[in-house]
Structure 1
């Protein structure tokens, strides 16, 4: 049985190794996306907050400035961070594949910088992580590779399982050993210590690859499949209320009175409400978000969807993302996810070296056996005189 499992572990690892390497490395970057992105583009994300109690300009005024500069784009969403020294990010859309990210100084109305959303660093990293920059075909490949990785974690655990007299050897890395032994320890021992975290990351990753996995969460907690949530119907007001976005933000601050960033998502289809969401950074876990729906043009509240009122299935589904990214409990789980991702990226490399070394060793043994064969050794053969 162990031979069969070893054969399965080897060939599945060789088949998926390159994809696992790419997905794990990009995943390690995405763990700290929120922290790294402002550091990589400080001019885009930061502004000089004025001294005293200076208030930001009207959001409606900022939106008009942005749209006047970038016609014929339309508003897609607006991201508003809670820190006073952060810029407001407007995302504009002309088509599905043509979006602009515009950073605006909310105190002066100055448009700081405009970039192509598709070329932003972490957008490319995410595209590589989920789709290998290959669209639907890439999604299929990463989904299959993620499924294979789950099998590799389980088969690797079976192959690692020690006998009674070798438990200590399987639980520690012998740093002063030969490179061959050290490589094996880095593959087997590190893989063992991180196997639970790696299994959870891979398992939750399947939620974005397969709809049945997403439905399985809702079946387990709600007894029914996931229901697609769309903004409620709310015909836009004909005569726009002055500063209706400011009205929406004031209502959001009143109802969702906790710390956290706000996102305004505009309707993609005619007749739908504008969605305003706020993530609760005071919550014990990450990704606790509530949603409010407003009538475009007037800022009239149409519907509320508070986190407390969500079904058990939806709450469980919300936990999937922070488990996958390691943001569930903040920095401690993020650091664990980063270490696990880097170890996952190393496994195809160390595993390949183990296979190549064994293949080379097998070839040498085969040649050695042939050299020792009586039919091939001169001194074992009786030649006639004179030859």
Structure 2
């Protein structure tokens, strides 16, 4: 049983190796994507200097500024950044098109970036597409999900196969043969990063698979040929949203708004309940608001949600490592290099083991006739 599991572990590792290297390295970049963007495009992503007691402009005024400055676009979503040097992000679409664009908006002055940019042309968007879909849309997402499942299997099987290695976790026999050295190194990296690798594999597979299932169900039930929005007719509702959300769920932190469409006249509000912990995502509590009547049609307080909903909500901070500030982000970034290290050391081990077996077989074949003759 152990031998067969070892072979399966090796074969799946070789099959998934290159893809996991790409996923791991891009994941490391994504951990610090905002810091990278701030360094490369500070004039686009960072707020202008403001006084400590500066007040954010109302969301309706920010929306009016975006629409008046870029009338060829309509707003699809708004991501808030509170107490942060980063600007808010407005997600917009050009009228008559389906591609998403990103626009940075200073919430204190309403200053915007020079022009909306396609989301897949941003640093974050480019790496996200490669990380989750290999630039192959839903087919790529399915493939990435399969590789994530493979990574999950490698983490679990590696833990089982190398359990005895805990006794000599930091033993690296440098003066031994290269096969033994790389074996020690492979086991050490695998054992140390098992918790994070298990999290990466499980959450990545869960997101990709559930997203695909949702897309299949949604496309089978709805017609998305018409995407033009009628939300300017609901403009008066925008100003009401923050107060309405706080009334519905006192202490609510509104972090993202998904705007209405003509065929779906609903504001979808995503945020956090009061007292949310470090392992809660920024979007775990939801409030749906009818854009015509202004009535709340649905509310999910994460504190009262089902157990699995609470568990799934932790996946985002656990996957990206942003729950512990800079320390965990650095650890998660380093862990993103582990698939590459495991792929390299595992491949070397596999082929050295194959050569060793070949040499043994050759030696046995050469010595057997002489033994027979002497007998």
How would you bin the TM-score normalised by the shorter chain?
A: 0.7 to 0.9
Matched, 1:311 2:286: no
Paired residues of 1:190 and 1:343 also in contact (CA < 8 A): yes
| Structure 1: distance between partners of 2:201 and 2:266 | 35
- For the residue of structure 2 that corresponds to 1:113, the secondary structure is coil
Q: Which runs of 5+ in 1 are unaligned?
A: 216-227, 229-235, 381-387
Change (3 A) 1:102 1:214: closer
Paired residues of 1:76 and 1:91 also in contact (CA < 8 A): yes
Question: TM-score by structure 1 length?
Answer: 0.76
Change (3 A) 1:312 1:161: closer
Change (3 A) 1:286 1:29: farther
Residue by residue over 1:161-194, the C-alpha shift from the partner in whole angstroms, topping out at 9 and shown as x without a partner, is 43xxx8644x223264354433222211221232
Deviation at 1:239, TM superposition (A): 6.7
Deviation at 1:7, TM superposition (A): 1.7
1:309-348 to structure 2, matched below 5 A, reads: 309-328=304-323, 330-331=325-326, 333-348=328-343
Paired residues of 1:78 and 1:91 also in contact (CA < 8 A): yes
Residue by residue over 1:253-311, the C-alpha shift from the partner in whole angstroms, topping out at 9 and shown as x without a partner, is 56656585622210245342212322358522231532333343786655543323323
- For the residue of structure 2 that corresponds to 1:206, the secondary structure is helix
1:155-194 to structure 2, matched below 5 A, reads: 155-162=157-164, 168-169=167-168, 171-174=169-172, 176-178=174-176, 179-194=178-193
Deviation at 1:336, TM superposition (A): 4.3
Q: Higher helix fraction: Structure 1 or Structure 2?
A: 2
Paired residues of 1:173 and 1:182 also in contact (CA < 8 A): no
- Tell me whether 266-275 or 359-368 shows the greater mean CA deviation: 359-368
1:50-199 to structure 2, matched below 5 A, reads: 50-51=50-51, 53-83=53-83, 85-94=85-94, 97-114=98-115, 115-162=117-164, 168-169=167-168, 171-174=169-172, 176-178=174-176, 179-199=178-198
Aligned residue number for residue 231 of structure 1: none
Aligned residue number for residue 265 of structure 1: 258
Change (3 A) 1:126 1:281: farther
Matched, 1:208 2:203: no
Change (3 A) 1:186 1:47: same
Residue by residue over 1:41-79, the C-alpha shift from the partner in whole angstroms, topping out at 9 and shown as x without a partner, is 322221223336444444333323322333432110112
Aligned residue number for residue 287 of structure 1: 281
- Tell me whether 357-366 or 9-18 shows the greater mean CA deviation: 357-366
Q: Which runs of 5+ in 2 are unaligned?
A: 215-220, 222-229
| Structure 2: distance between partners of 1:239 and 1:168 | 68
Deviation at 1:82, TM superposition (A): 0.9
- For the residue of structure 2 that corresponds to 1:210, the secondary structure is helix
| Structure 1: distance between partners of 2:234 and 2:133 | 41
Deviation at 1:351, TM superposition (A): 0.5
**In terms of Rg, which structure is larger?**
1
Question: TM-score by structure 2 length?
Answer: 0.78
Aligned residue number for residue 384 of structure 1: none
| Structure 1: distance between partners of 2:306 and 2:333 | 31
Change (3 A) 1:320 1:373: same
